[in-house]
A and B are shown apart, each in its own frame.
Chain A
Amino acid sequence: MEEQVQKQSWWPKLVKVVSDHPLVFIILFFFIIPFIMPYKALATQIIIWGLFALGYNVCLGYTGMLSFGHAAYFGVGSYTTGIVLIRLWPNIWFGIFCGMLMGAITAFVLGYLCIKRRGIYFAMLTMAFAQLIYFLAFQWVDLTGGDNGLRNIPATPVTLFGYDLHIYEPLRFYFFVLFFVILSLLALNRILESPFGQVLQAVRENEPRAKSCGYETTNVRWLAFVISGSISGLAGGLHAIYLHFVGIDSLYWTTSGQVVMMTLLGGMGSFIGPFIGAGIFLYLEDMLSALTSNWMIFLGVIFVLCVLFFPAGVWGTIKNLSTRKKD
């Protein structure tokens, strides 16, 4: 018995340290991921989708809005970055910035139309508008390439003091993406710890009461939605550069579904959850799709089991286990 207690006592402490300093550990972890994944590109994919889920989580986890239409902001970000790089100015920073901006603008406009609804009505509206954008992109072949996707996004070089950084080498590209991920994390952390972050929590916990305290909760939710859209747009832009291509499916509802799944898998309450969710999802997808062409079914089953038995998500469950009283 005593031995057991001894054996167990280290990991709850570790979990506590990690959840007390999520940023430090998540950034540390980022430096390990590319070396434990089967190949570097998978690691890159994980942090891009993790970033997307992080942005999504501003909506779901921090403000309590269930959106089923986040493909719109991710996809619009992807297309914008791609189109800007192809047609306007092959400058990668500018391209990424435009993707992020268009993600925010799209969320601003669609947010205005959806935000007054709550719960399932909100979810359905966001999904409907996202599908609308999907069909627009599908039809507007001149701009988007339609069904064929947007091809040949140039690999514009990134230079520092005139020295080419060769960012398209897999490991370097990972760190290039990581740069944006860490910036987003720091910015988001700052926002969530700000007075506005407190209001977000209050709105999530009890919107009628927040309103009765005098907060314009509709505007609060709207701004949260725009922040979420901008991070999703950034993730989309990075994804376009990562693939040198934007597929029409980036705007499809399956993309919205995927980010919901990742966020729920990992756990909504933290920064770490979305990245864990993205990691598990993409790793499983990679593994299962090599084994069987029906990998979607297996992934679906795993997802359903997770939601049924670990409703707090992987990280939430780990945290709960570690704080459970040992008798």
Chain B
Amino acid sequence: MEALLKTINLTKNFGGLSAVSNVSFSIRKGDLQTIIGPNGAGKSTFFKLITGEIKPSSGQVLFLDQDITSLPQTKVSHLGIAVAYQITNIFPMLTVLENVRVAAQSRKTTFNLWSKALNHKALAEESLAILELIGLADFQGDTAANLSHGDRKRLEIGIALATKPKLLLLDEPTAGLSPHETRQTIELIKKIAEGLTIVLVEHKMKVVMEVSNTITVLHYGKLLAQGTPDDIRNNEEVRRVYLGGVKC
């Protein structure tokens, strides 16, 4: 089967620094792949290159066999790529429900000035379903800024889901979470992975090994290795630069 997303020699230089260099990566529809790599390896930058948030220095991004390298971010979003950011990026003073609803609304209407937002039943139901999924239905009326760190991380995923993506990029969704919250988020990822193609950036090897069967290792912007969890575990170079003897 053809790849849903494919990057060809994708490169991004920040001044003299090559944050992402020559990365060729592809993921098929329905797969869940993980990207690992030490801090500063270029994982978040790689995501931003895919979504069009920043433009690559060279290389290409193909999505659904279409070259989206130079498309603006909003267009890419409408084609069906969404990110849950590493640094939570929510609408702080809106309620939890409003956060998800406004994201869901982006698929329907922007310049509708004369109907009542609250009368759009389908939108409300859709948003509530997402809140149920991410386990925040009980907090729907709360101001998003008042949520705990863990809940905000999940709201972040909810906002991304609300745009009904075909491809979801999850940037360290469990960073800073307690073991219990990490558990919840793993379950959530497993659940949404059933109907969605996902690229996951993750540090916790336990999480990686549990949800994913293809792992890509980035190191100083370069693709270092790619393979099954076993391949990666046994790869000498990866052990040397990243896992550093960590048992996993």
Interface residues of chain A, those whose CB is within 8 Å of chain B, are: 190-191, 193-199, 201-202, 205-206, 208-216, 219-220, 223
Let me know if B193 is at the binding interface, CB within 8 A: no
The reply to whether B102 and A211 form a contact with Cβ atoms under 8 Å apart is no
**What interface size band does chain B fall in?**
35 or more
Pairs of residues from A and B, 9 with the lowest C-beta to C-beta distance, nearest first: A214-B77, A205-B91, A214-B106, A195-B112, A213-B106, A202-B102, A196-B113, A213-B103, A209-B89
Contacts of B83 in A (CB 8 A): 212
Interface residues of chain B, those whose CB is within 8 Å of chain A, are: 51, 53, 73-74, 77-78, 82-83, 89-94, 98, 101-103, 105-118, 120, 159, 162-163
Supposing A202-B94, A205-B94, A206-B91 touch, asked if A212 and B51 sit within 8 A by C-beta, the answer is: yes
Q: Which residue of A lies closest to B156 (CB)?
A: A209
Interface of A (DSSP majority class): helix
> Can you sample 15 A-B contacts with CB below 8 Å?
A193-B118, A194-B112, A195-B109, A196-B110, A198-B102, A199-B105, A202-B94, A209-B89, A209-B90, A212-B51, A212-B53, A213-B102, A213-B106, A213-B163, A214-B107
The reply to whether B102 and A206 form a contact with Cβ atoms under 8 Å apart is no
Counting residue pairs across A and B whose Cβ atoms lie within 8 Å, the total is 91
Q: How far is the CA of A219 from the CA of B92 in the complex (A)?
A: 22
Which of A190, A195, A201 makes the CB contact (< 8 A) with B110? A195
Q: How far is the CA of A212 from the CA of B113 in the complex (A)?
A: 22
Q: How far is the CA of A179 from the CA of B94 in the complex (A)?
A: 32
Supposing A199-B102, A206-B89, A208-B89 touch, asked if A214 and B113 sit within 8 A by C-beta, the answer is: no
Contacts of B110 in A (CB 8 A): 195-196, 199, 215-216, 219-220
Contacts of A193 in B (CB 8 A): 116-118
Q: Which residue of A lies closest to B48 (CB)?
A: A212
Contacts of A223 in B (CB 8 A): 111
